[in-house]
A and B are shown apart, each in its own frame.
Chain A
Amino acid sequence: MKAAVVVFPGSNCDTDCFHALKDVMKVPVEFIWHKERSFPKTDLVVIPGGFSYGDYLRTGAIARFSPVMDSVTKHAHEGRAVIGICNGFQILLESGLLPGAMLRNKTLEFICKHTWIRAEENLTIFTGQMEPGETLCVPIAHGEGNYYCDDETLKSLQDHAQIVFRYSSQSGEVREEFNPNGSRDHIAGIVNKKKNVLGMMPHPERASEEILGSHGGRKIWESILNAIG
């Protein structure tokens, strides 16, 4: 498997994702500068977290016009894997690769802390190594992670098993008090209908090594590695 991490101006989890893939998971990985119109064929594209274009206008709203995004869309349409984390998720929403939009957190404050998320199903390349209902400890760090979509979209997400992660308690209960940002249906991560594009607010790259206090994110990398080989 080969991976690539896209770097926008203002990306700041790019080196973290690079480190998690290369040094922890031992996957060959390259950076792609956002001004590149094309990039060599790769199995996984990571759109990392950060503040692309300083979050000006709206989170992810400018990044989606970066030259590299056409190639990312092509890569996705060819059925290869894309994972957008945090600001990466926001960019995927803005670019239309995933449905929905982001609102400010319900507290109106930026929140950085460990959260528990429940894996809702394991039929995607991102969750193959999990049991449905299994919980993972993965940190969040965002000001706009309050996922929103209309009723019709939500129903479609539910019907097509596109909701991959929900915020929960450690034991897997899904309730308001375990949802840090007020997201609709406690959504922490969704996939597209083809299930090759994942957007999630929690940061798996921050939960890939024991020394950092949690390792739930590692299971996501392991699932991808296992699926792609």
Chain B
Amino acid sequence: MPTLDDKTTITPKLIAAHGITPDEYKRIQEILGRDPNITELGMFSVMWSEHCSYKNSKPVLKLFSKMNAELPHQENLLVKPGQENAGIVDIGDGLAVCFKIESHNHPSAIEPFQGAATGVGGILRDIFTMGARPILLMNSLRFGDLAQPVSQRLFRGVVAGIAHYGNCMGIPTVGGDVYFDSSYEGNPLVNAMALGIIKKNEIVRGAATGIGNPVYYVGATTGRDGLGGAAFASKELSDQSHEDRPAVQVGDPFMEKLLMEACLELLKTDALVGMQDMGAAGLTCAGCETASRASTGVEIDLAYVPRRETGMIPYEILLSESQERMLVIVKKGKEKEVERIFEKWDLHAVKIGEVTQGDKYRVLDSGKLAAEIPAKALADEGPIYIREEEKPAYLEETQKLDLGSIKVPRDFNQLLKKLLAHPSIASKSWVWQQYDHMVRTDTVFYPGHDAALIRIKGTQKGIAVSTDCNSLYVYLDPFEGGKIAVAEAARNVVCSGAKPVGLTNCLNFGNPMKPEIFWQFHSAVSGMIESCKMFEIPVTGGNVSFYNESPQGAIFPTPTIGMVGLMENIEKRVPSFFQNKGDLIFLAGETFNEIGGTHYLMMEHGLKKGLPPRLDLKREKALHQFILDAAQGGKLASCHDLSEGGLALALAECCFKSDQELGAVINGMGAIQEGSTGLRTDALYFGESQSRAVISVSPNHKDDIKRLAQKYGVKFYEIGVVNADSLVVEDRIHLTVQQMKNIFESTIPKTMERFS
């Protein structure tokens, strides 16, 4: 882009370079009643980018709001999607949880360490901006084949970046999910989730209310880093993307820690009116959104904005995405009190303007008008497009799968070992040991469990969280895949004994201008909604990330779910691993000939094909009710959900966590096979039929648990018993726990070790 100054002439070429279409430019002229200057053009370009305006996704995202409105217990959803920086759900006793997941895919592809680190920084600001204290972080990561050096480089950088930011902030990173698939080559996914806790009556709005109230700029200085990041995130990655490196921001978690403590301290005074972080689109977004929410105007003077570089023009100051900055609106007359708090934390707190009458976002530069735009037009009235959609042609090919041509492998021992050694399945301890997952001393279930579990001090409550998405399913059948993404995340939370109370989602897709991509997007969302309705789980918001394409094509559609569950009494928690020798092992749920889209089919037969397993929502819901009832009654020693790798892998995983080495003897596979006619042995061991869990119970509870399963209509098979040090399944699998654990634990470290 040529050098810009306030005399720059607006040419069609310059308009196009800002990603603004001729029609959109016409609207800008109508809104202003004149031509915009270069500063205003820049402001429109970032606010009307997909990243900020959701112009391509809004019509579909509205389906979530419509669904929410039809759910029972409306009153529990305290802040709804799109209203504020993050959604909030009531958890009783005057407390609420505030949570959100967001992508930082493009920056991480270019600069993995800083890209991932600032992703964490951004999502944390969204939480404490609402007045909530962040208590946990999660992340959902996707990379290309780990055998590729480029995937290793991205993986190492992203994990280190997340660790750097979260560890320094002192907020535990308690879990997440990591998958490797060639579709993510060149376009990794980095989705970060944060959850905070807040008193219901202390929720802060991002609104600039009260004419005459001062507007403060707080935190780090403004530089040219991250210039136009929102616009950068709204196009496909290409071979030239590395030239966009200046659009990647650099994070300073220490600054953010100070900012967080200062903002939360400010919250305890009565001086605070509203807060908004300067994330995507920086000062442009923070100014117009706070004004728009309050239906007021905001006037600022850029001369007061603290800077880290000289010679910055208004265009650059307004579009900068320098990190760790907040816009804070305080009560007139309380300025001293506010400044005292920020001074205590050695932070800049500068009055840059005030709330005004009218509806304009007015920006001055040393008293001289630099930009003047109706705030609502900029923040909320961007263009909305209903994109064309068309069923992808590839589906016809991928959905053809002749089971008859798939030979059942002979050696299941070997197969299980191979599964355990697949990077997507193998232990992620190399990842989560780099994250401080214990700070704040609330982490009860560590990473590796079905869901992470955090206690809330001073109460009996626990919060269980899981992130999940099997994107191969979504690729092969977007609607069913969307349904399963929600169901599986809910099942993870339920298996730990918590009831799902809300979800946030990060919708990662390719270029929405391509009708086939938009069809995937719309279908996946529709599928997710089906599940949400059935399980009565509100969607609290999230983020859309389009344009996830590299020169090799689009990623697998990946609607990542961040599921939040509530446990009223944390003493009723259920671990994912076997606990006691002699406990009985049951399989809950039905098994079908479902091999399509399985990890087994992909790994063993080299096929990413077939229809993924079908999800019967009623059956899934019955399973949830059964598990929660059993957990409440204290009947479960352990409960682990079945997913990739099926029953065989789930059984292996159940042997991994206990301090003592506990294996299992399984001799009831025949009963499952009898319950499902013509069931193939590979489907029985490695199929991925939905709505299933492996449960272990003390022999004393055998009759009770069977009665409960019957009450909820859940098919229930007694398949074996917890035993010492080996996993033995009929005459097909016989491995020591140590053998399995070695493979499971060493796969990723062996690939990633620097010194070997």
Interface residue ranges, A against B (CB under 8 Å): 9-13, 15-16, 19-20, 23, 35, 49-51, 53-56, 107-113, 139, 141, 143, 203, 205-206, 208-209, 211-213
Query: Does B163 count as interface, using CB distance less than 8 angstroms?
Result: yes
| A-contact bits for B156-183, CB 8 A (1 contact / 0 none) | 0000100110011110000000000000
- The answer to whether A56 and B438 touch across the interface, beta carbons within 8 angstroms, is no
> In the bound complex, how far is the Cα of B163 from the Cα of A107, in angstroms?
15
- The answer to whether A141 and B257 touch across the interface, beta carbons within 8 angstroms, is no
Given contacts A13-B170, A213-B446, contact A206 B438 (CB under 8 A): yes
Given contacts A9-B345, A9-B346, contact A113 B257 (CB under 8 A): no
> In the bound complex, how far is the Cα of B164 from the Cα of A53, in angstroms?
14
Query: Does B439 count as interface, using CB distance less than 8 angstroms?
Result: yes
- The answer to whether B346 and A141 touch across the interface, beta carbons within 8 angstroms, is no
> In the bound complex, how far is the Cα of B254 from the Cα of A49, in angstroms?
14
Interface residue ranges, B against A (CB under 8 Å): 160, 163-164, 167-170, 252-255, 257-258, 344-346, 429, 432-441, 443-444, 446, 455, 457, 570, 754-755
- The answer to whether A12 and B170 touch across the interface, beta carbons within 8 angstroms, is yes
CB distance from A167 to the nearest CB of B (A): 15
Given contacts A9-B346, A205-B441, contact A111 B168 (CB under 8 A): no
Closest to B432 in A: A112
> In the bound complex, how far is the Cα of B212 from the Cα of A53, in angstroms?
36
The 19 listed contacts between A and B (C-beta, < 8 Å) are A9-B258, A10-B257, A12-B169, A15-B440, A19-B441, A53-B254, A54-B255, A109-B433, A110-B160, A110-B163, A110-B435, A111-B433, A111-B434, A112-B167, A112-B432, A112-B437, A141-B438, A143-B167, A212-B438
CB distance from B667 to the nearest CB of A (A): 33
Given contacts A54-B253, A54-B254, contact A112 B441 (CB under 8 A): no
> In the bound complex, how far is the Cα of B254 from the Cα of A50, in angstroms?
10
**Chain B residues whose CB sits within 8 angstroms of the CB of A9 once the complex forms:** 254, 257-258, 345-346
CB distance from A220 to the nearest CB of B (A): 15
**Chain A residues whose CB sits within 8 angstroms of the CB of B455 once the complex forms:** 211
Given contacts A12-B257, A13-B170, A50-B170, contact A112 B436 (CB under 8 A): yes
- The answer to whether A16 and B441 touch across the interface, beta carbons within 8 angstroms, is yes
**Chain B residues whose CB sits within 8 angstroms of the CB of A211 once the complex forms:** 444, 455, 570
The A contact surface, by secondary structure, is mixed
Q: Which of B167, B168, B433, B439 has the most CB of A within 10 A?
A: B439
**Chain B residues whose CB sits within 8 angstroms of the CB of A113 once the complex forms:** 429, 433
- The answer to whether B168 and A54 touch across the interface, beta carbons within 8 angstroms, is yes
CB distance from A218 to the nearest CB of B (A): 12
Closest to B445 in A: A213
Given contacts A211-B455, A213-B446, contact A51 B257 (CB under 8 A): yes
> In the bound complex, how far is the Cα of B160 from the Cα of A107, in angstroms?
12
Closest to A20 in B: B441
Q: Which of A56, A206, A208 contacts B254 (CB 8 A)?
A: A56
**Chain B residues whose CB sits within 8 angstroms of the CB of A213 once the complex forms:** 444, 446
CB distance from A6 to the nearest CB of B (A): 15
CB distance from B540 to the nearest CB of A (A): 27
- The answer to whether A110 and B444 touch across the interface, beta carbons within 8 angstroms, is no
- The answer to whether B438 and A139 touch across the interface, beta carbons within 8 angstroms, is yes
**Chain A residues whose CB sits within 8 angstroms of the CB of B434 once the complex forms:** 109-112
Closest to B462 in A: A211
- The answer to whether A212 and B443 touch across the interface, beta carbons within 8 angstroms, is yes
**Chain A residues whose CB sits within 8 angstroms of the CB of B446 once the complex forms:** 213
Closest to A50 in B: B170
> In the bound complex, how far is the Cα of B440 from the Cα of A205, in angstroms?
10
**Chain B residues whose CB sits within 8 angstroms of the CB of A208 once the complex forms:** 441
- The answer to whether A141 and B253 touch across the interface, beta carbons within 8 angstroms, is no
Closest to A213 in B: B446
Q: Which of B164, B344, B441, B457 has the most CB of A within 10 A?
A: B441
> In the bound complex, how far is the Cα of B127 from the Cα of A129, in angstroms?
43
Given contacts A13-B170, A51-B254, A56-B254, contact A107 B436 (CB under 8 A): no
**Chain B residues whose CB sits within 8 angstroms of the CB of A35 once the complex forms:** 344
Given contacts A141-B167, A211-B444, A212-B438, contact A108 B754 (CB under 8 A): yes
CB distance from A181 to the nearest CB of B (A): 12
- The answer to whether A13 and B254 touch across the interface, beta carbons within 8 angstroms, is no
**Chain A residues whose CB sits within 8 angstroms of the CB of B444 once the complex forms:** 211-213
Q: Which of B168, B254, B438, B754 has the most CB of A within 10 A?
A: B438
Closest to B255 in A: A54
> In the bound complex, how far is the Cα of B435 from the Cα of A205, in angstroms?
18
> In the bound complex, how far is the Cα of B164 from the Cα of A23, in angstroms?
30
Q: 16 more A-B contacts (CB under 8 A) besides A12-B168, A16-B440?
A: A9-B346, A10-B257, A10-B258, A12-B169, A12-B170, A12-B257, A50-B170, A51-B168, A55-B168, A107-B755, A110-B160, A110-B436, A112-B437, A206-B441, A211-B444, A212-B438
**Chain A residues whose CB sits within 8 angstroms of the CB of B168 once the complex forms:** 10, 12, 51, 54-55
Closest to B347 in A: A9
- The answer to whether A13 and B439 touch across the interface, beta carbons within 8 angstroms, is yes
Closest to B570 in A: A211
> In the bound complex, how far is the Cα of B257 from the Cα of A11, in angstroms?
9
CB distance from A171 to the nearest CB of B (A): 14
Q: Which of A53, A206, A208, A209 has the most CB of B within 10 A?
A: A206
Closest to B253 in A: A54
CB distance from A215 to the nearest CB of B (A): 12
> In the bound complex, how far is the Cα of B572 from the Cα of A211, in angstroms?
12
> In the bound complex, how far is the Cα of B434 from the Cα of A83, in angstroms?
25
- The answer to whether A212 and B441 touch across the interface, beta carbons within 8 angstroms, is yes
> In the bound complex, how far is the Cα of B437 from the Cα of A143, in angstroms?
14
Closest to A11 in B: B170
> In the bound complex, how far is the Cα of B169 from the Cα of A153, in angstroms?
34
- The answer to whether A19 and B457 touch across the interface, beta carbons within 8 angstroms, is yes
**Chain B residues whose CB sits within 8 angstroms of the CB of A112 once the complex forms:** 167, 432-438
CB distance from A198 to the nearest CB of B (A): 20
**Chain B residues whose CB sits within 8 angstroms of the CB of A143 once the complex forms:** 167
Closest to B573 in A: A211
CB distance from B149 to the nearest CB of A (A): 18
> In the bound complex, how far is the Cα of B252 from the Cα of A11, in angstroms?
15
Closest to B754 in A: A108
**Chain A residues whose CB sits within 8 angstroms of the CB of B163 once the complex forms:** 109-110
Given contacts A56-B254, A211-B444, contact A109 B439 (CB under 8 A): no
**Chain B residues whose CB sits within 8 angstroms of the CB of A12 once the complex forms:** 168-170, 257, 439
**Chain B residues whose CB sits within 8 angstroms of the CB of A51 once the complex forms:** 167-168, 170, 253-254, 257
